[in-house]
């Protein structure tokens, strides 16, 4: 059943997804450190397998992958001809996503139902959006100068960022009601990810240092990669696995936090890596920079068949 956001989200635009269909490209896989980390921890019997796949929208000069759902559908954005568009990659086919009348569109999150959230720029103002069943709806935090939707869970709860009076805050939109998210004492807070249980991850800054956070059961927990100068929380799945990015000695790496164990994520030959979302299967998406060009990536992880039913595990039980 489609939810109505008319009271808080503004005008609903009835517009079908603009589909610029193109075959998804196949790319060579590369090895990675996460399985090696498991082996170092004595888990050599787990049969861990990992595969990196580069994601490039055909003809684009820039591509990044931002969100992935349990089915493996991926959303993100690409640049072509000087314009930025969102995209959906599903069953090896790309579809462009453009909010009607907007000069710029970014797709940021997708849930198990295929609902997509993101942001668009129109008339110099940035708004969030929800795309559900072919219809766009604007998302604007009341009295905010900037609103961006970052992720949506299987229940339709949406998290993101808004700016008001020069300060950046996170937000949760649930049941048609907005709630601000502010880490105590922070100069800014951004909510990046939410799972079906309502656990939220994101980033905050105190004294010029960026930290990740987990907000669960009304309590904040700081997330800092050991030895890093900055840590950013990106996404969380129904199992509580968290991905993000950290900076160490001036270099940016992705990370996975599973249980109490961190693992680095580094695409071979890349100068910059950021992990942005993880689904219940443990598949991770993000982007990397190599030779000055930004590409999206999918890191597929298999663990002795433990994730065979993950497509149906959205945590909404």
pLDDT band at 309 (very low <50, low <70, confident <90, very high): low
Residues 163-171: contacts with CB within 8 Å, 24+ apart? 170/200, 170/202, 171/141, 171/147
- pLDDT of residue 9 exceeding 50: no
Q: What would the two tokens of residue 185 be?
A: 């004492």
Say if CB 273 and CB 281 are below 8 A apart. Answer: no
CATH of the domain at 67: 2.120.10.30
pLDDT at site 285: 98
- Is 117 part of a structural domain of the chain? yes
Give the dihedral sign, CA 4/104/192/36: positive
pLDDT at site 49: 75
- 222 closest CA partner among 241, 205, 247: 205
- pLDDT of residue 11 exceeding 60: no
pLDDT at site 304: 52
- pLDDT of residue 6 exceeding 60: no
For residue 47, give the 3-state DSSP assignment.
coil
Q: What percent of the chain has pLDDT over 90?
A: 79
- Is 317 part of a structural domain of the chain? no
- CA dist 149 and 133 (Å) reads 17
pLDDT band at 18 (very low <50, low <70, confident <90, very high): very low
H and E: helices and strands count for the chain: 2, 26
- Is 109 part of a structural domain of the chain? yes
pLDDT band at 25 (very low <50, low <70, confident <90, very high): very low
- CA dist 105 and 241 (Å) reads 28
- CA dist 176 and 4 (Å) reads 8
pTM of the model: 0.85
User: E-assigned strands of 81-181?
Assistant: 83-90, 93-97, 104-110, 116-122, 125-132, 135-139, 146-152, 158-164, 167-174, 177-181
- Is 87 part of a structural domain of the chain? yes
Give the dihedral sign, CA 17/18/22/24: negative
- 270 closest CA partner among 285, 291, 250: 291
pLDDT in tens, 242-294: 999 999 999 999 999 999 999 999 999 999 999 999 999 999 999 999 999 99
Q: Minimum mean pLDDT among 13-17, 188-192, 208-212, 232-236: which range?
A: 13-17
pLDDT at site 121: 98
pLDDT at site 35: 57
- CA dist 258 and 114 (Å) reads 26
- 38 closest CA partner among 27, 49, 52, 22: 49
For 212-225, what is the mean pLDDT?
98
pLDDT at site 27: 23
Say if CB 183 and CB 213 are below 8 A apart. Answer: yes
Q: Total domain count for the chain?
A: 1
- Is 249 part of a structural domain of the chain? yes
- pLDDT of residue 213 exceeding 60: yes
User: E-assigned strands of 17-57?
Assistant: 22-23, 48-55
142 by Cβ neighbours in 10 Å (0-12 / 13-18 / 19+) ranks as exposed
pLDDT at site 230: 98
Q: What would the two tokens of residue 265 be?
A: 């994520």
For 298-308, what is the mean pLDDT?
69
pLDDT at site 161: 98
Domain of 56, in residue numbers = 7-304
- Is 316 part of a structural domain of the chain? no
Helix (H) or strand (E) holding 216: strand 209-216
Helix (H) or strand (E) holding 133: none
- CA dist 114 and 132 (Å) reads 7
Q: How far is CA 31 from the centre of its chain?
A: 23
- Is 313 part of a structural domain of the chain? no
pLDDT in tens, 166-211: 999 999 999 999 999 999 999 999 999 999 999 999 999 999 999 9
pLDDT in tens, 34-91: 554 433 333 333 456 789 999 999 999 999 999 999 999 999 999 999 999 999 999 9
- Is 205 part of a structural domain of the chain? yes
pLDDT in tens, 100-140: 999 999 999 999 999 999 999 999 999 999 999 999 999 99
- pLDDT of residue 2 exceeding 90: no
């Amino acid at each position: 059943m489609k939810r109505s956001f008319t009271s808080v989200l503004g005008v609903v635009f009835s517009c079908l997804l603009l589909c610029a269909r193109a075959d998804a490209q196949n790319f060579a896989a590369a090895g990675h450190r996460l399985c090696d980390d498991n082996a170092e921890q004595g888990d050599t019997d787990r049969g861990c397998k990992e595969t990196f796949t580069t994601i490039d929208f055909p003809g684009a000069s820039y591509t990044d992958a931002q969100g992935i759902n349990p089915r493996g559908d991926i959303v993100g954005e690409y640049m072509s001809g000087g314009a930025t568009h969102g995209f959906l990659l599903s069953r090896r086919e790309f579809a462009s996503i453009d909010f009607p009348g907007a000069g710029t569109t970014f797709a940021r999150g997708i849930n198990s139902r295929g609902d997509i959230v993101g942001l668009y720029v129109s008339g110099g103002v940035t708004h969030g959006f929800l795309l559900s069943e072919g219809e766009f709806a604007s998302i604007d935090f009341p009295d905010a100068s900037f609103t961006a939707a970052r992720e949506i869970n299987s229940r339709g709860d949406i998290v993101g960022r808004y700016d008001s009076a020069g300060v950046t805050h996170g937000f949760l939109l649930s049941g048609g009601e907005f709630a601000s998210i502010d880490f105590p004492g922070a100069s800014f807070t951004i909510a990046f990810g939410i799972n079906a249980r309502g656990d939220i991850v994101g980033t905050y800054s105190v004294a010029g240092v960026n930290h990740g956070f987990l907000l669960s059961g009304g309590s904040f927990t700081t997330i800092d990669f050991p030895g890093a100068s900055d840590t950013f929380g990106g996404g969380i799945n129904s199992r509580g696995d968290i991905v993000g990015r950290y900076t160490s000695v001036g270099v940016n790496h992705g990370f996975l936090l599973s249980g109490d164990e961190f693992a680095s994520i580094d695409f071979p030959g890349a100068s910059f890596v950021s992990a942005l979302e993880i689904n219940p299967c443990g598949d991770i998406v993000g982007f990397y920079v190599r030779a000055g060009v930004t590409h999206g990536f999918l890191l597929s992880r298999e663990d002795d068949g433990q994730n065979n039913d993950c497509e149906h595990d959205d945590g909404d039980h």
